[in-house]
Structure 1
Amino acid sequence: MKQIIQDLNNGNTYLEEVPVPFIQPNHILIQTTRSLVSLGTERMLVEFGKSNLFQKAMQQPDKVKEVLNKVKNEGLKPTINAVLNKLNEPLPLGYCNVGKVVAVGKGVDDISIGDRVASNGPHAEFVCVAKNLVAKIPENVSDEAATFTVIGSIGLQGIRLANPTFGETFVVIGLGLIGLMTAQLLKANGCKVIGFDFEPTKVELAKQFGIDAVNPSDGVDQVAYVNNATNNIGSDAVIITASNKSNEIISQSAKMSRKRGRIILVGVVGLDISRADFYEKELTFQVSCSYGPGRYDYGYEQKGIDYPLAFVRWTEKRNFETILHAISSNAICVEPLITEKVLLEDYQKIYSKMRVSKSIASIIVYPYNSNTPSHSIQINTNKFQKGEGVVGIIGAGNFTSAMILPCLKRNSAKLKYISSSTGLKGTILAKKYNISNSTTENDNIFKDKQVDLVIISTRHNTHAALTIEALKNGKNVFIEKPLALNKEELKQVIEVYNASGKTITVGFNRRFAPLALEMRNALGKSNTPMNIVATMNAGFIQSKVWIHDMEIGGGRIIGEACHFIDLITYLSGSKVKSVCMNALGTLPEENTDNASILLKYENGTNAVINYFANGSKAYSKERIEVYHQERTLILDNWRKLKGYGFNNFNFKSSGQDKGHQNQFNLLIESVKNGGDAIIPMSELVNTTLASFAAVESLKTGTWVNL
């Protein structure tokens, strides 16, 4: 299928051939018939892409600070690579999609195959959209009219925040697509509406809808105009749908408001607010978040968990349905907003002139294709043979693009497949790294007899099931940590592993880092007890991020602190026998990222892992201290290793190397030659059980024996 994407690195917009998305639980697969180009939002993305690196930085000063901290902490080269990797990620354009349902995922019960639906899907021939972002289209609403659903919902959410009452006077600043729909919705609410815009055609169109529309460039003083129209009372509320960096808009909005008026920001403007303007009138100001309640809530959008209607009357989905009803009942009129209709293959007619376009709404028309959609595309015709260490990769996220693929490229691994849920990222990476096939169907990898190794880099809740499927199909497996999220999953993995004759490797890369190897060598092989203190200044991650979801990410102890359990196992030459964990705060919580983990090892080693998320990003992210036989080793952030009391070791430094390259070099060599796993399975299981025990200890308040 074809999809329109934006290259943030050079600003080019192009039509990419990608596999059809894989249908996921609580999602709907839609064959697109029409989509609407949101010129305001998409113009901003295109212009950002076309700007140079310095201009991009100036537009995102908060990101510049993050980059500078990363340079200080990790060095210049890794930071540059991370920035370039981010800029090289493709950005799917579009969020106003209409089409016909061709498949429904598990958990979808209110939408059926064949239904016409509107969604926030991108500009693509097929889209896979979460069920709470999809609404059925009434029979009397055309596909073209329905493409205004999402845009209308953005305006509607701003109106809901303003809470209009019948007879109030509202001002809409900016009569672009969202502004024109907002003005119509306000009229439907029984409000008097004054609109301002500098574009004559938009002003004239607003007048056709019964809006008191004014062009300030005609010499009209906006504040005076509103005061005259309201008998010097001022507007009850102002909704800003304009996009302009000037602070003048927010200032004028305050000046034209009545006392205790409301100002709602839907667009993007300068926000240098005058305290006097707001203080004297006791104005309220609020920023509207996209389509409504549920936006950016992982549980609502991805898991399909709806808010109870009695407590949250209007959600994203219910706002979508409201706009469709308004179109169906002629409460608002959208056909006059359509400036042009363009076939998908002629998309550049829209995007090539976007910077100077005066269009209001551009509609993309999609060709009808009755053929069965393909979940795979071939990028090249490389030849492969069984036993060459042929690789199939599942997962095309940041870790795959920033770490796994560069490492595999350097050791010339044979890459036959990359699988991604949407198909887009996988295709871009396949072209960049000479991977033969991009797919959204994992079975293509599992069933291919030439594939020797499956690399799994997906969200944590999928790790165990994918590992089991790969082993059952006779594949060696590399699984980015963790191996499993609970004992039952781990038990199933072990059972299949024991019967498979294949190897499992978990991405515990730190034991392969050059400085970790130096530490192990300096400590020797006496197998005598040592004290180890490992501190990870992990950094804060917002609670809404999936890693914190115990069902999906497993929390940061199971999902990330396991790295240090494995490293200590490697350094001590022993296995964990009991665990105790204490967390920040007064009440034990199952999910924490501020905790100290105490580990007792079989050989008497005593270890502490301090996993903290409340430290400064300017401080070293990782630090290891080892105390052994009147000697001490201090490892600082994988860049400096200092020894005290050693006869043959004092100091060593290197670029920050956490062992990823060494691990993949050994892994590919092992798979090619049929050698043993590069980490013993018994240690992988022990580390995984220790991470489970840490969480159990926090809940029970006791030591837990493995």
Structure 2
Amino acid sequence: MRQILQSFKTGVTELAKLPAPKVKTGQVLIKTTRSLVSLGTERMLVEFGRASLIQKARQQPDKVKMVLDKIKTEGLMPTLETVFNKLEQPLPLGYCNVGKVIEVGKGVTDFKVGDRVTSNGQHAEFVSIPQNLVAHIPDNITDEEAVFTVIGAIALQGIRLVNPTMGETIVVIGLGLIGLLAAEMLMANGCKVIGYDLDDNKVAIAKEKGIIAFNPLKGNDPVKFVLENTNNVGADGVLITASAKSNAIISQAAQMSRQRGRIVLVGVIGLNISRAEFYEKELSFQVSCSYGPGRYDDDYEQKGIDYPLPFVRWTEKRNFETVLQLISTGKLQVKNLISEVVALEEYEKIYGEIGTSKSIASIIKYDESTQPESTIIVTKKEGQPTKGVIGLIGAGNFTKMTLLPALKGTNAHIKHIVSSGGVNGTALAKKHNIAQSTTDYELVLDDKDVDLVMITTRHNLHADMVIKALDKGKHVFVEKPLALNHEELEAIEESYQKSNGTLMIGFNRRFSPHTQKIKSLVGDAPMNVIATMNAGAIPPEIWVHDMEVGGGRIIGEACHYLDLIVYLTGSKIKAVCMNALGENPAENTDSASILVKLENGSTGVVNYFANGSKSYAKERLEVFSQEKTLIMDNFIKTTGHGTKGFSKLKTKLNKGHKAQFGQILEKIKQGDIALIPYEELINVTKASFAAIQSLKEGKWIEIE
């Protein structure tokens, strides 16, 4: 399929060839017929992409601070590599899509094949969208009218926050597409609407719709104009849909408002607010969030859990349906807002001049004869190796930032890369000379050429993919964790016993030269190990915290150090006991300490903390044994005390990824990848589960 992408590194807007997405659980696969270009939002993205590095930095000072913090802890070159990798990731454009349903995912009940729908899908020939972000189109609405639904919902949500009543005067600042849609919906609500914009064409369209509109550049002072048209009372509400860096707009909004007026921001403006202007009138100010309640809530958007209507009357999907109803009944006229309709392959007519375009609404038309293909050839390779062919499932941050850079310069032959939407996988395939990009991981499992399947997806997908790969006789590398619960682990063990394949988890830290040096100095003698991870806080809504998706940070991340202790002591874990911070420690796995008993009498402590400073090193390891003490600082520096002949090892940041993958590539040529004994992989996984159980039950948990 073809999709419009924006490069943040080069600034180029391109029509890329990608594999079509596979429909997911709770989603519908839509064949696009029309999409609308949101000139305001997309202009900002395109102009950001075309800006220089210095200009990008000036626009995002918060990101600059994050970069400086990372330089302090990890060094300049690793940080720059991370930044450039981020910039190389193309961004899909668009969020106003219309098309027909061609496939329905598991659990979807509201839609069937053939339904004509609108969604927040991108400018792509095929999109897979969660059902709560999709709405049915009434029969009397054309595709070119329905494509205004999502952007109309943005305007509608702003209106709902203004909470206008019949007869009130509402000012709309900025008569772009969202402003014009909002103004017309406010009129349908029985409001007196005043709007202004610096573009005469937009002002003229507004006047045709019955809006009291003007251009401030033509001599009308906005504040005086509003006061004169409200008998000096002021506006009941002000809806700001403009985009400007100046603080003048928020000041004007305050000055033109009546006592206790309401101001709602939908656009992007300077927000240096004058306390006096708001204080004297007791004004309220609120920022509107996109389409409405449910936006950015994974439970609502991705899992399809609706908010009960009696308690949350207007969700983003119900806002979509309201806009469609207004168009269907003729209360919202959108045809006269269409500036142009262009074919997808002529997209440059829109994006080539997007910085200076005076268009109101540009619509992209799609070829309805196109069929979805889940795989594309990116690079043609000759002389395929007979052993060691890799199929890579997952194209997220770990693959992009860690795995593929670590494989760079090796003889790794990656035949397939799988990504859910096709964008990330194709971009990485082009950069790293990977033959095929696909959205169908079953293709990888069925390919007889593939010896090694590498899985780097979200944690909840690991177990099922590992089982299917083992059942196909593949060797499997899975980035931690192996599984999220005992049931998944038991199923994996059952498949492993029947399979000819071998298994490896991405416990890379045991392969670091720092770990190797410590191991060589202490041997297998009983020891005390203290491992501290200054992990940093992650917002609670991020998927890692979801026990069903990410498994939490102990199972998903702290398992690294459970494995490290097993490796250093040369012994399996016998029992664990975990305690966490706070009044309700059983609910907090972000800042916790795990006590570890080993079968050979060694002991360990894993401190996993999310409440430390980012300026402090992220990882620290202390080992005490045979009157020796070794301290590893962030996999950059290791110092020895009482270690005759050794005092210090210093390297660039090296967590062992390159060594780990290098050894895997050597082993796979011999027919396996068992770098870590299978029993240790299972033992560490069980220990991570036991840590969570210990926290809940408040006692030591023995490992079976």
Question: What's the TM-score, normalizing by structure 1?
Answer: 0.99
Per the alignment, residue 263 of structure 1 pairs with: 263
Aligned-partner SS, 1:269? coil
Per the alignment, residue 534 of structure 1 pairs with: 531
Per the alignment, residue 204 of structure 1 pairs with: 204
Deviation at 1:589, TM superposition (A): 2.7
Paired amino acid for 2:48: F
Q: Does 2:634 match 1:626?
A: no
Per the alignment, residue 316 of structure 1 pairs with: 316
CA deviations 1:40-76 (Å, max 9, x no partner) are: 0000000000000010000000000000000001000
* Residues 387 and 683 (structure 1), Cα distance of their counterparts in 2 relative to 1, 3 Å cut: farther
Aligned-partner SS, 2:480? coil
Deviation at 1:591, TM superposition (A): 5.3
Mean CA deviation greater in 20-29 or 589-598: 589-598
Deviation at 1:675, TM superposition (A): 4.5
Paired amino acid for 1:417: H
Deviation at 1:368, TM superposition (A): 1.2
Aligned-partner SS, 2:138? coil
Q: Does 2:372 match 1:389?
A: no
CA deviations 1:19-59 (Å, max 9, x no partner) are: 11011000110000000000000000000000000100000
Per the alignment, residue 169 of structure 2 pairs with: 169
* Residues 455 and 182 (structure 1), Cα distance of their counterparts in 2 relative to 1, 3 Å cut: same
Q: Does 2:614 match 1:614?
A: no
Per the alignment, residue 495 of structure 1 pairs with: 494
Paired amino acid for 1:406: P
Deviation at 1:381, TM superposition (A): 2.1
Q: Does 2:660 match 1:652?
A: no
Per the alignment, residue 34 of structure 1 pairs with: 34
Aligned-partner SS, 1:280? helix
Q: Distance in 2 between matches of 1:460 and 1:416?
A: 23
Paired amino acid for 2:392: I
Answer yes or no: is the 8 Å Cα contact 2:522–2:626 preserved in 1.
no
Deviation at 1:443, TM superposition (A): 1.3
Deviation at 1:590, TM superposition (A): 4.9
Per the alignment, residue 83 of structure 2 pairs with: 83
Q: Distance in 1 between matches of 2:475 and 2:93?
A: 37
CA deviations 1:420-459 (Å, max 9, x no partner) are: 1111111111111111111111111001111010000000
Per the alignment, residue 448 of structure 2 pairs with: 449
1:14-29 matches, within 5 Å, as: 14-29=14-29
Q: Distance in 2 between matches of 1:530 and 1:426?
A: 44
Q: Does 2:468 match 1:469?
A: yes
* Residues 431 and 499 (structure 1), Cα distance of their counterparts in 2 relative to 1, 3 Å cut: same
Answer yes or no: is the 8 Å Cα contact 2:327–2:334 preserved in 1.
yes
Q: Distance in 2 between matches of 1:128 and 1:308?
A: 25
Q: Distance in 2 between matches of 1:610 and 1:290?
A: 40
Deviation at 1:387, TM superposition (A): 4.1
Paired amino acid for 2:93: L
Answer yes or no: is the 8 Å Cα contact 1:460–1:559 preserved in 2.
yes
Per the alignment, residue 413 of structure 1 pairs with: 412
Q: Distance in 2 between matches of 1:583 and 1:407?
A: 34
Deviation at 1:297, TM superposition (A): 0.5
Q: Does 2:570 match 1:576?
A: no
Per the alignment, residue 252 of structure 1 pairs with: 252
Structure 1 unaligned spans of 5+: none
Paired amino acid for 1:584: L
Deviation at 1:605, TM superposition (A): 1.0
2:694 to 689, 692, 697: 697
Per the alignment, residue 329 of structure 2 pairs with: 329
Aligned-partner SS, 2:170? strand
Answer yes or no: is the 8 Å Cα contact 1:384–1:390 preserved in 2.
no
Q: Distance in 2 between matches of 1:276 and 1:31?
A: 53
Per the alignment, residue 437 of structure 1 pairs with: 436
Q: Does 2:635 match 1:638?
A: yes
Per the alignment, residue 275 of structure 1 pairs with: 275
Answer yes or no: is the 8 Å Cα contact 1:550–1:591 preserved in 2.
no
Per the alignment, residue 557 of structure 2 pairs with: 560
Q: Distance in 1 between matches of 2:39 and 2:560?
A: 46
Per the alignment, residue 478 of structure 2 pairs with: 479
CA deviations 1:229-252 (Å, max 9, x no partner) are: 111111011010000000000011
Answer yes or no: is the 8 Å Cα contact 2:502–2:672 preserved in 1.
no
Per the alignment, residue 192 of structure 1 pairs with: 192
Q: Distance in 1 between matches of 2:547 and 2:369?
A: 41
Aligned-partner SS, 2:368? coil
Aligned-partner SS, 1:610? strand
Q: Distance in 2 between matches of 1:337 and 1:45?
A: 22
CA deviations 1:182-241 (Å, max 9, x no partner) are: 101111111100001000000000001110001000011100111111111110110100
Per the alignment, residue 234 of structure 2 pairs with: 234
Structure 2 unaligned spans of 5+: none
Q: Distance in 1 between matches of 2:471 and 2:60?
A: 47
CA deviations 1:344-374 (Å, max 9, x no partner) are: 0000000001011000000000011164x21
Per the alignment, residue 518 of structure 1 pairs with: 517
Answer yes or no: is the 8 Å Cα contact 1:386–1:452 preserved in 2.
no
Runs of 4+ in 1 over 2 A off after TM superposition: 383-388, 588-591
Answer yes or no: is the 8 Å Cα contact 1:384–1:450 preserved in 2.
no
1:678-697 matches, within 5 Å, as: 678-697=675-694
Deviation at 1:501, TM superposition (A): 2.3
Q: Distance in 2 between matches of 1:20 and 1:75?
A: 39
Q: Distance in 2 between matches of 1:357 and 1:83?
A: 31
Q: Distance in 1 between matches of 2:622 and 2:30?
A: 54
Per the alignment, residue 51 of structure 2 pairs with: 51
* Residues 62 and 45 (structure 1), Cα distance of their counterparts in 2 relative to 1, 3 Å cut: same
Per the alignment, residue 401 of structure 1 pairs with: 400
Per the alignment, residue 286 of structure 1 pairs with: 286
Per the alignment, residue 126 of structure 2 pairs with: 126
Q: Distance in 1 between matches of 2:186 and 2:395?
A: 44
Aligned-partner SS, 2:376? strand
Q: Distance in 1 between matches of 2:383 and 2:440?
A: 20
Deviation at 1:528, TM superposition (A): 2.5
Deviation at 1:411, TM superposition (A): 1.2
Aligned-partner SS, 2:261? strand
Give percent identity, aligned residues only: 61
CA deviations 1:393-412 (Å, max 9, x no partner) are: 00111111111112222212
CA deviations 1:531-569 (Å, max 9, x no partner) are: 111110101101110000000000000000000100111
Paired amino acid for 2:444: I
Instruction: Supply the RMSD in Å over aligned alpha carbons.
Output: 0.9
Answer yes or no: is the 8 Å Cα contact 1:384–1:414 preserved in 2.
no
Q: Does 2:10 match 1:10?
A: yes
Per the alignment, residue 72 of structure 1 pairs with: 72
Q: Distance in 2 between matches of 1:51 and 1:370?
A: 35
Aligned-partner SS, 1:494? helix
Q: Distance in 1 between matches of 2:107 and 2:385?
A: 39
1:351-366 matches, within 5 Å, as: 351-366=351-366
Question: What's the TM-score, normalizing by structure 2?
Answer: 0.99
Q: Does 2:602 match 1:595?
A: no
